Amino acid sequence: MEKILMPNLGQTVEEIYIQEWLVNVGDRIELGQPLCVVETDKAQLDVESVAEGTLLRIVEEAGATVEVGQLIAEIE
């Protein structure tokens, strides 16, 4: 199982808002595929997958604010 953690999106960014998930549990995920759209105080960005497989679980739903390094999803 591969854990998807919220990446560090900037030196001053500590909390990141998950605006929208672009994939659903059970979807086949490719390496580099955008998983969700996030928003910082400076930009709106896609978080890309660092693994390929099947999306097992979304840990943090859209609308959540999470810290850098926090678990947001799991891929098998």
In tens, the pLDDT along 10-60 reads 777 788 999 999 999 999 999 999 999 999 888 899 999 999 999 999 999
pLDDT at 23: 98
| Range(s) of the domain holding residue 38 | 2-75
Compute and round to an integer the Cα radius of gyration of the chain: 11
Classify 60 in phi/psi space as left (phi over 0), alpha (psi -120 to 50) or beta.
Answer: beta
Q: What is the CATH number of the domain that holds 43?
A: 2.40.50.100
pLDDT at 12: 77
Instruction: Indicate whether 71 pLDDT > 90.
Output: yes
Please state the domain count of the chain: 1
pLDDT at 66: 96
pLDDT at 32: 96
